[in-house]
Amino acid sequence: MNDSAIADPAIPQPATPEQRRRADRLGLILGLVALGLTAGFIAIFTLHGLPKDPTEYKRLQQDAQSRPASTEPSR
C-alpha cells in the first residue's frame, strides 16, 4: 500500500492558493477597519475632547447658557 495516499488527519494540509488569497484579503480588510476606527476615535477626541461625566456636561451647558453673548470680537 502507498503511504503517501493515506491522509493523516493530525497533519494539517497546506492551504490552496485560493484560500491563501482569501485569508490575505480578509486580513487586509479587518486591519483597515481597525485602523479606520482608531483614526476616527483619535480625530473625534482631538476635535471634541474626551467624553465628560453627564452631570458635569449639564453644568457646563447651563453655565454657557447663563453667560451673556458677547458682541465684541475676542482679541
pTM of the full predicted structure?
0.52
CA distance 35 to 59: 35
Instruction: List the domain boundaries for the chain.
Output: 23-64
Residue 60, C-beta contacts closer than 8 angstroms, at least 6 positions apart: 52
**Tell me: the pLDDT tens digits for 3-51?**
555 667 777 778 899 999 999 999 999 999 999 999 999 999 899 887 7
Please name the helix (run of DSSP H) or strand (run of DSSP E) that holds residue 29, with its range, or none. Answer: helix 17-48
